Amino acid sequence: MKLRQLGKTGLMVSEIGFGGEWLERHEFDESVKLLKYAHEKGINIVDCWMPDPKSRDIIGKAMEGCREFWYVQGHIGSTYQDGQYVRTRDMKFVKPAFEDLLERFHTDYIDLGMIHYIDSEEEWNTVMNGEFIEYVHELKREGKIRHIGLSTHNPKIGKLAVETGFIEMILFSINPAFDMRPPTEDLTTMFGGYDQDQLSGIDPERSQFYQMCEENNVGLTVMKGFFGGALLDKERSPFGVAFTATQLIHYALTRPGVSSIMVGYDTTAQIDEAVGYETATAEERDYASVIASAPFHSYSGICTYCGHCKPCPMDIDIAMVNKFYDLATMQPQVPESVASHYMALDHHASECIGCQSCEARCPFGVSIAERMEKTAVLFGE
277 and 323 inside one domain:
no
- Distance (Å, rounded) from C-alpha 263 to C-alpha 18? 5
325 and 275 inside one domain:
no
Single out the residue of 13, 67, 22 nearest to residue 43, CA to CA. Answer: 13
126 and 69 inside one domain:
yes
107 within some domain: yes
Indicate the helix (H) or strand (E) that contains 71: strand 71-76
* Cβ–Cβ under 8 Å, residues 15 and 2: yes
pLDDT of res. 330: 67
The helix-helix angle for 336-343 and 318-329 (nearest 10°) equals 170
Omega cis (within 30) before 183: no
**Please, what is the end-to-end C-alpha distance for the chain in angstroms?**
36
265 and 155 inside one domain:
yes
Q: Count of H helices and E strands in the chain?
A: 15, 12
What radius of gyration do the chain's Cα atoms show? 21
8 within some domain: yes
Angle of CA points 355, 361, 362, to nearest 5°: 100
169 and 234 inside one domain:
yes
Task: Decide which of 219, 253, 281 is a domain's last residue.
Answer: 281
243 and 342 inside one domain:
no
- Distance (Å, rounded) from C-alpha 306 to C-alpha 286? 7
7 and 98 inside one domain:
yes
pLDDT of res. 198: 54
Cα dihedral sign for 40, 42, 43, 45? positive
DSSP string, 74-131: EEESEEEETTEEEE---HHHHHHHHHHHHHHHT-S-EEEEEE----SHHHHHHHHTSH
The helix-helix angle for 28-40 and 53-62 (nearest 10°) equals 40
305 within some domain: no
The domain in which residue 196 lies consists of: 3-281
295 within some domain: no
126 and 248 inside one domain:
yes
Angle of CA points 283, 285, 287, to nearest 5°: 95
Query: Coil, strand, or helix at residue 140?
Result: helix
271 and 322 inside one domain:
no
Is the pTM here over 0.95, yes or no? no
239 and 326 inside one domain:
no
- What does pLDDT average to in each consecutive run of 10 residues of the chain (381 residues)? 96 96 88 96 96 95 95 96 91 97 96 96 95 98 98 96 97 92 82 63 89 94 90 83 94 95 93 97 89 67 75 89 81 79 88 89 83 91 83
Distance set, CA 111 to CA 53, 102, 169, 265, 365 (Å): 20, 11, 11, 22, 43
pLDDT of res. 295: 66
- Distance (Å, rounded) from C-alpha 275 to C-alpha 246? 9
CATH number of the domain encompassing residue 154: 3.20.20.100
293 within some domain: no
352 and 249 inside one domain:
no
- Distance (Å, rounded) from C-alpha 34 to C-alpha 31? 5
Domain count, the chain: 2
- Distance (Å, rounded) from C-alpha 329 to C-alpha 335? 9
66 burial level (CB within 10 Å; 0-12, 13-18, 19+): exposed
Task: Decide which of 281, 301, 327 is a domain's last residue.
Answer: 281
92 and 177 inside one domain:
yes
